Amino acid sequence: MGWSTYGKPVDIWSIGTILAELLIRRPLFAGSNSEEQLELITNTIGSPSEHLVKKAKKSAMKKYLQKMDNKDKTATGLKSLIPENKASNDAVDILSKMITFDPAERWTVQELLKHPYVASERAA
């Protein structure tokens, strides 16, 4: 969304998309350009909040987001991309904690390590 700051929440998004791609064995949001990729993302996780759109630094990005159809935020979008035979409900749930527009809503590493999906893998 054109933000100039880079922090741990960006890494969490990256880890989430990489985990999803490992599970489904293909790119998660394989758009051929920024607009197509953003369309794929919003179709899956919903539109960013109005508050978040206002924080976009690039005016072109802000205008594009404002004119997009508002899509409901739902974890079922991720579930539709990841077949049941590829991932457990815990896997889809942890992905929904990582792949969310608002960096402030993404879980931290400490929170993710306590999630049942990671806890079960650590115990194995």
pLDDT one-digit tens code per residue, 16-44: 999 999 999 999 999 898 788 888 888 88
How many Cα atoms within 13 Å fall on the side-chain side of residue 111? Answer: 12
Integer Rg of the chain from CA? 15
CB 5 within 8 A of CB 56: no
CATH 1.10.510.10 fits 8-123, yes or no: yes
Is the model's pLDDT at 99 over the cut of 90? yes
The domain locations on the chain are 8-123
| Digit-coded pLDDT (tens) for 49-97 | 888 888 777 777 777 777 777 777 665 588 888 877 778 889 999 999 9
pLDDT value, residue 122:
63
Q: What distance in Å separates the CA atoms of residue 95 and residue 91, rounded to the nearest whole number?
A: 6
How many Cα atoms within 13 Å fall on the side-chain side of residue 89? Answer: 0
